Amino acid sequence: MKLSKILISLKIIFVFNLLISFAGCDEISKIGQDSPEDVDYPSRDEIVQYRMSYTNTGTKDLVIDLMEGKVTFAYDYRGTGYFNAELFDGDRNKLLTIANNVQGPARNTVSYNVPSTAGYVLRVSGEGEWRIEHR
């Protein structure tokens, strides 16, 4: 008798969870349905640079897209050891040193004129938490 009541309760909980899941899916599809037509996207000529922010610890190679023209890198290093950040082109040629053995904690900004719209590699290393963004 007790086992049958437990099984019925589990079935009710299962059905209830399915209903909640399907209700959430309907909301997601409604949000996405009107966004492509209703959003006014700027033309490529109006975009100066995409803004992106990355947070991590240790060493990380980030593949980023940059547009031709001025970009500003801003970093916030919360560690107490050394912090390094460098920008490379797609062929791994170093283009810019953003931070070179900076003793943390530290913050700074560095600007650079990107030669062409393309993918680049941003290599960041530190012995603690860091955040770097480009804008």
Do residues 130 and 57 make contact, with C-beta atoms less than 8 angstroms apart? yes
Note whether 32 and 53 are same-domain residues.
Answer: no
Greatest mean pLDDT among 35-39, 42-46, 98-102: 98-102
In this model, does residue 29 exceed pLDDT 70? no
Question: With bands split at pLDDT 50, 70 and 90, how would you rate the model's confidence at 30?
Answer: very low
Note whether 48 and 89 are same-domain residues.
Answer: yes
pLDDT > 90 in the chain, percent: 43
pLDDT digits (tens, 9 = 90+) for 87-135: 999 899 999 999 999 998 999 999 999 999 999 999 999 988 999 988 8
Domain with 72, as residue range(s), is: 44-134
Q: What is the pLDDT of residue 42?
A: 54
Note whether 125 and 75 are same-domain residues.
Answer: yes
Note whether 58 and 103 are same-domain residues.
Answer: yes
Number of domains within the chain? 2
Average pLDDT score over the chain: 77
Note whether 33 and 53 are same-domain residues.
Answer: no
64 HSE (CA, 13 A, CB side): 26
Note whether 66 and 28 are same-domain residues.
Answer: no
User: Which is higher by pLDDT, 19 or 58?
Assistant: 58
- Coil, strand, or helix at residue 81? coil
Domain with 111 in it: what CATH number? 2.60.120.380
Q: What is the pLDDT of residue 51?
A: 72
DSSP state of 52: E
Note whether 92 and 124 are same-domain residues.
Answer: yes
What pTM does this model have? 0.64
Note whether 119 and 64 are same-domain residues.
Answer: yes
In this model, does residue 85 exceed pLDDT 80? yes
Query: What is the CA angle 14-20-24, rounded to 5?
Result: 145
Note whether 56 and 90 are same-domain residues.
Answer: yes
Cα–Cα distance, 102 to 89 (Å, whole number): 23
Note whether 63 and 110 are same-domain residues.
Answer: yes
Note whether 63 and 123 are same-domain residues.
Answer: yes
Cα–Cα distance, 99 to 88 (Å, whole number): 13
Task: Name the helix (H) or strand (E) containing 114.
Answer: strand 106-114
- Coil, strand, or helix at residue 61? strand
Note whether 82 and 113 are same-domain residues.
Answer: yes
Q: What is the pLDDT of residue 49?
A: 65
